[in-house]
């Protein structure tokens, strides 16, 4: 997802702009929290401040942050393929907004977890990954970036790189938790080195637990031989043409990752909230814009 830096007065404008881009918003008036706080998140216009419970290292430059939801919460209020917006005030008075996709079970009413990569020049990510338990961060949401429908596809392909794994992981785990959803999932996940693969143990466990519903294949640019069955190099057109379902009505490809990766696979998004034109490998392989979704 794209880093957004806006002055405080632009925050609500940015949230409202999401609806222009065709992204479904949870209307705050219709989802107001009850006296005991039945829903944690109530739309982009209703901020909620959450305390950090724990922060742990995932890889050398990613951290897992767990925040506690308010007492009395009965549901997160989030749907599959949704994200929330953090609105921290960085020391010095700089207000920023940053979208984050939860990796925790969206049905858990007690906590919410994020995987955050510390970017070299990312002052928001550095702020977030240096928080201490007890520190509080305001969030807004949820915002549904894709309306998932049970068994709408026979199979889906998830193409990811680096920290772009978060929306793909959320989508995959949400589908797999639903015993009535028979959608088959293949994740193709690229990283620089074996030490740069976040959520690898969880992904391997999903493959072991759901062998008929979930498959994952890793691409590693350096030292691929250290990852069992990983392919060396990067995800390319030749692999996609041979190993994933072709452009059919009963399948869809979801793409998430750094801009260079997304550009090569399917073309970049036109701003943070617009899909943009379909180009790249998937266009060359005959996919249509309706068969590809960019997180």
Task: Give the span between the Cα atoms of 135 and 213, in whole angstroms.
Answer: 39
Question: In this structure, what DSSP letter does residue 102 have?
Answer: B
115 in a labelled binding site: yes
Q: Is 101 labeled as ligand-binding?
A: no
Burial class (CB in 10 A: 0-12, 13-18, 19+), 85: buried
CA–CA separation, 201 and 132 (whole Å): 25
User: What are the angstrom distances between the C-alpha of 114 and each of 49, 156, 166, 202, 220?
Assistant: 15, 24, 8, 14, 23
Dmax (CA) for the chain in angstroms is 56
Q: What is the 3 state secondary structure string of 163-194? A: HHHHHHHHHHHHHHHCCCCCCEEEEEEEECCH
Q: Is 117 annotated as a binding residue?
A: yes
Tell whether residue 99 is among the known ligand binding residues.
Answer: yes
Q: Is 125 annotated as a binding residue?
A: yes
Do the annotations mark residue 98 as ligand-binding?
yes
Contact assessment for residue 281 and residue 236, using Cβ atoms and an 8 Å cutoff: yes
Q: How many Cα atoms within 13 Å fall on the side-chain side of residue 201?
A: 3
Residues 6+ apart with CB under 8 A from 230: 194, 217, 218, 219, 220, 224
- Written as six digits, the tokens of 58 are 């995932």
Q: Which two tokens stand for residue 234?
A: 């990067």
Length of the chain: 295
d(CA 162, CA 178): 26
Which parts are annotated binding residues?
98-100, 115, 117, 124-125, 166
| Binding region for FAD | 98-100, 115, 117, 124-125, 166
């Amino acid at each position: 997802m794209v880093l957004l830096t806006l002055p405080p007065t632009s925050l609500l404008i940015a949230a409202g702009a999401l609806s222009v881009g065709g992204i479904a918003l949870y209307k705050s008036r219709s989802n107001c929290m009850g006296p005991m706080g039945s829903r944690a998140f109530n739309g982009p216009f209703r901020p909620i401040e959450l305390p950090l419970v724990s922060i742990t290292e995932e890889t050398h430059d990613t951290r897992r942050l767990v925040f506690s939801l308010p007492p009395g919460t009965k549901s997160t209020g989030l749907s599959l393929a949704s994200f929330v917006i953090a609105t921290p005030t960085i020391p010095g008075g700089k207000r920023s907004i940053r979208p984050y996709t939860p990796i925790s079970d969206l049905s858990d009413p007690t906590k919410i977890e994020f995987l955050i990569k510390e970017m070299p020049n990312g002052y928001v990510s550095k702020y977030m990954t240096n928080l201490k338990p007890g520190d509080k961060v305001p969030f807004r949401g949820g915002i549904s970036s894709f309306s998932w429908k049970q068994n709408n596809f026979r199979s889906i392909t998830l193409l990811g790189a680096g920290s772009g794994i978060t929306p793909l992981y959320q989508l995959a785990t949400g589908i797999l938790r639903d015993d009535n959803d028979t959608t088959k999932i293949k994740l193709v996940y690229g990283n620089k080195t074996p030490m740069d693969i976040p959520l690898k143990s969880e992904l391997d466990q999903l493959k072991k637990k759901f062998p008929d519903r979930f498959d994952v294949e890793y691409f590693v640019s350096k030292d691929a031989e250290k990852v069992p069955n990983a392919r060396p190099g990067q995800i390319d057109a030749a692999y996609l043409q041979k190993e994933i379902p072709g452009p059919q009505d009963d399948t869809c490809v979801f793409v998430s990752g750094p801009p260079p990766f997304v550009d090569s696979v399917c073309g970049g998004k036109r701003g943070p909230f617009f899909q943009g034109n379909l180009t790249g490998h998937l266009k060359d392989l005959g996919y249509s814009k309706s068969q590809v979704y960019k997180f």
